[in-house]
A and B are shown apart, each in its own frame.
Chain A
Amino acid sequence: MKGTELCAPAADLEEIDRIIDRYRDEKGSLIQVLLTIQAEHHWLPREVLSRVAERLSVPLTRVLHLATFATAFSRIPRGRPEVHVCTGTACHVRGAPRVLSTIEELTGIQPGETDLDLRYSLETVNCLGCCALGPVVEIDGKIHGKVSIAKTEDVLKSCE
């Protein structure tokens, strides 16, 4: 994933069509199509949603509801790297809220936001399933465990 790609305004609709075609014959494929587009393009711009609605003959209202309903989807470009702070119960009781607020202060962004330079996107996740290591922060697939407040800055820096 290159940072410049994120700034590119126009989505490649031919590429979108190819993804749609992969799921052509499956009943109820809308969510799978959107997940694949999200995974490959990192966000779902409006024109892409219109295209999906048109090609799958699904009302745009439904596509739009879905794209805003589920946490996997983003209607704004996501930055790089994606910082995921686990706020599952195990991490919560081990101090995740303080880790999160420290990251918010350091990056100046709130969960769901991307900073203006597209350096970070911040998200909270409900459980990453490595509760033994809590509190856990995942940055672009790499899991950092037992994160203390004092360690948070180093963890963020490690991915720059």
Chain B
Amino acid sequence: MPKLRTPQELSEYREGLAARGAAERPCVSVCAGTGCLASGAREVIEAFRAEIEAQGLAAGVEIRGTGCPGFCERGPVVVLQPGGICYLEVTPEDVPEIVTRSLGEGEVVTRLLFEDPATGERVVREGDIPFYRHQHRLLLGQNIRIDSRSLDDYLAIGGYAALPKALVSLSPEEVIEEDKRSNIRGRGGAGFPAGRKWEGARHAPGDTRYVIVNADEGDPGAFMDRALLEGNPFSILEGLTIGGYAVGAREGYIYVRQEYPLAVENVTRAIAKAEEYGLLGEDILGSGFDFTVKVHRGAGAFVCGESSALMTALEGRVGEPRPKYIRSNVKGLWGRPSVLNNVETWANIPLIIDRGADWFAGIGTEKSKGTKIFSLVGKIRNTGLVEVPMGMTLREIIYEIGGGIPNGKRFKAVQTGGPSGGCLPEELLDLPVDFDELTRAGSMMGSGGMIVMDEDTCMVDVARYFIDFLTDESCGKCAPCREGLRQMRRILGRICEGRGEEGDLETLEELAEVVGLASLCGLGQSAPNPFLSTLRYFREEYEAHIREKRCPALSCRALLSYYIDPEKCRGCMICLRKCPSQAIEGGKKQVHVIDQEKCDTCGVCFDVCPPRYGAVRKISGEPVPEPLPPEERMIVKAGGE
């Protein structure tokens, strides 16, 4: 591959790709994102390879392992082009039929299509599946169309159109102006306007500047940055290069957590490819602009997502936040002006430059523009990544896209913003989701985790979970965060274990003030949010734990008892055999009884009791009924059985 030296050469090369019909060739796209790989996508790809070879179609059909299109719940996801037929939950055994019928004869394998649960109708095309239909997939939509290793694929769908436009027809100031007019706000959490950040860096004194991608996606339950980095690393490189040009940086860094090995691999390969094509390196497309990018693996610390800690880690030091009242776009990495934006922000930049600020600003709400990717997870029917315009309501996201709560359970809360965010109750389901609305409701956008909780989720436990997480992840440098969270964890733990006392909530609120106001960095300052928001909307659950020693969600293990309903037990002995504590007495055709002394409330009996009996019950805050006397435990056959 000879380097592309001018914008002219780039567009000729792109036309060459089109002339070779790269886009129209029949293609089998199999999602090779982490979720689908875990469901067996690798085996499916292999099966396609073998079957296509065996049927003598290898020359005419391309097989692509792509990035994540979002519908992880129903993976492995396969999309056939042309036509866009979408098959779900594909196994290697399905592959011969797909190859024979769909690739060979142009038919559709109906049983692998999405079936609308409401109407029972089958949906052929990817975009018509309700999960996708309500989305606006500017970024994620590209994933299934390209092999993340192929820069040609990215070029074929119009990638690297924005970079030459920026380098040739716009000055750095004009790029920043475009960025500012688009009103894009940082997707990493706080929602700071990216254009203003860039402008500050451009005007800061000094010759050396840096642009950095924050891919230290540490929120437990969020994986949109991973999907972008794995699925379409070139778009991030393109955005970063444009950013480098705009602020006057010649070096860029991508800080990726090492827990994402595939992302590290794909982005490292993408950099090499871009260098080979002359889209990174010296004198990019003849513009005189030099730009290189390095990948830096993070070693696993949530706090490193905080900007000053991330930059400290990039310098090879322990990732502790630095006290600073000077912004990092003035004094950041190695003391130089540095622009740090998150993966999703950078991925939006080529779109803004290519299609224009006005187009971008036309999407979303007044103060939050564009789309946002959420990872919709937890107690939700369609788990996955969803990309929607800012301003869509929680209800639309959860019910229309997510398909609602599974197993006939009732919605209780949705947690947004990761450990820095909060839990929003049912009454706020019509809240339009944007940066400011979420903050007003006591949560935040964060990086876009959206964890749905149902009636079985205990909100005190959720608060304890997040405080626990943050206590572990606190770097320990400043006293309020280190010591304050430790005490909050202790008190919340006690409440969950039924040892809560009057006054605990007031103490927690006082601690929340100390931690929130006095902590050094964003981790500590936002750490009380999960507690404060659950207290605000679910105070009665806290009170039930403290006063009645009752967990209303029947979730806190220490406050639970298990009881076998003698009316329902059929004496099948499954629970008796599975109980690890040997706490269940009984025999064939005898009502089983749990010895409450021996029971350690692990819940195995509840899990294994056949649903048609449903004899095991959870009890909290009330005494366990006395067991039947042994002589009355014989189960008399019901009539006819």
Write the residues of chain A forming the contact surface with B, with a CB cutoff of 8 angstroms.
26-32, 34-35, 58, 62, 65-66, 69-73, 87-90, 92-94, 98, 101-102, 105, 125-134, 136, 143, 145, 148-150
Contact = CB atoms under 8 A, between A and B. Distances in A.
Contacts of B39: 133, 145
A133 B222 contact: no
B449 A66 contact: no
B35 interface: yes
Interface in B338-394: 375, 377-379, 383-384
A3 B397 CA distance: 48
A31 B299 contact: yes
B469 A69 contact: no
When A and B form their complex, which 6 residue pairs have the shortest distance between CB atoms, in order from nearest? A28-B316, A70-B299, A129-B223, A88-B220, A71-B300, A132-B72
Contact of B301 (A69, A92, A136): A69
A66 B604 contact: no
Contacts of B457: 93
B300 A70 contact: yes
A65 B38 CA distance: 35
Contacts of A72: 258-259, 299-300
Contacts of A102: 580, 602
A30 B608 CA distance: 50
Contact of A127 (B220, B318, B465): B220
B222 A127 contact: yes
B524 to A, nearest CB: 17
A94 to B, nearest CB: 7
A101 B223 contact: no
Contacts of B466: 89
Given A32-B316, A71-B301, A87-B220, 8 more contacts: A31-B316, A35-B299, A92-B220, A127-B220, A131-B223, A131-B375, A145-B39, A150-B607
A46 to B, nearest CB: 18
A39 to B, nearest CB: 8
Contacts of B418: 89
A150 B377 contact: no
Given A94-B379, A126-B302, A127-B221, A27 B315 contact: yes
B296 to A, nearest CB: 7
A35 B227 CA distance: 23
A129 B260 contact: yes
Contact of A88 (B35, B75, B221): B221
Nearest to A30: B316
B451 A93 contact: yes
A132 B377 contact: yes
B484 to A, nearest CB: 20
23 contacts: A28-B315, A31-B296, A31-B313, A31-B316, A32-B316, A69-B318, A69-B319, A70-B300, A90-B378, A93-B378, A129-B223, A129-B226, A130-B34, A131-B223, A132-B35, A132-B72, A132-B73, A133-B35, A133-B39, A134-B377, A143-B37, A149-B602, A150-B607
A132 B75 CA distance: 9
Interface of B: 34-35, 37-39, 72-73, 75, 218-223, 226-227, 258-260, 294, 296-302, 313-319, 334, 375, 377-379, 383-384, 415, 418, 449, 451, 453, 457, 462, 465-466, 469, 475, 557, 578, 580, 602-604, 607-608
Contacts of B301: 69-71
A20 B603 CA distance: 50
Contacts of A66: 299, 317-318
Contacts of A31: 296-299, 313, 316
- Which among B39, B220, B300, B465 has the greatest number of chain A C-beta atoms within 10 A? B220
B72 A130 contact: yes
Contacts of B604: 149-150
B interface SS class: mixed
A148 B220 CA distance: 20
Contacts of B260: 129
A93 to B, nearest CB: 5
A72 B580 CA distance: 33
B318 to A, nearest CB: 5
Contacts of B334: 27
B220 A89 contact: yes
Given A70-B319, A126-B302, A132-B75, A35 B451 contact: no
Given A101-B602, A150-B607, A89 B38 contact: no
A47 B461 CA distance: 42
A148 B609 CA distance: 13
Nearest to A125: B259
B123 to A, nearest CB: 19
A65 B316 CA distance: 12
A1 B317 CA distance: 30
A126 B607 contact: no
A127 B604 CA distance: 25
Contacts of A27: 315-316, 334
Nearest to A138: B38
Contacts of A98: 557, 602-603
Contacts of A149: 602-604, 607
A93 B383 contact: no
B35 A129 contact: yes
Contact of B299 (A34, A88, A125): A34
A29 B295 CA distance: 11
B20 to A, nearest CB: 35
Nearest to B581: A105
Contacts of A132: 35, 72-73, 75, 377, 383-384
A105 B602 CA distance: 11
A87 B317 CA distance: 27
A149 B609 CA distance: 13
A26 to B, nearest CB: 8
A28 B255 CA distance: 13
Contacts of A93: 378-379, 451, 453, 457, 462
B438 to A, nearest CB: 17
B38 A131 contact: no
A130 B72 CA distance: 8
Nearest to B37: A143
B38 A136 contact: yes
A90 B377 contact: yes
Contacts of B218: 126
Nearest to B320: A69
Nearest to A90: B377
Contacts of A26: 294
Contacts of A101: 602
Given A131-B375, A149-B604, A65 B222 contact: no
A73 B415 CA distance: 31
A60 B377 CA distance: 43
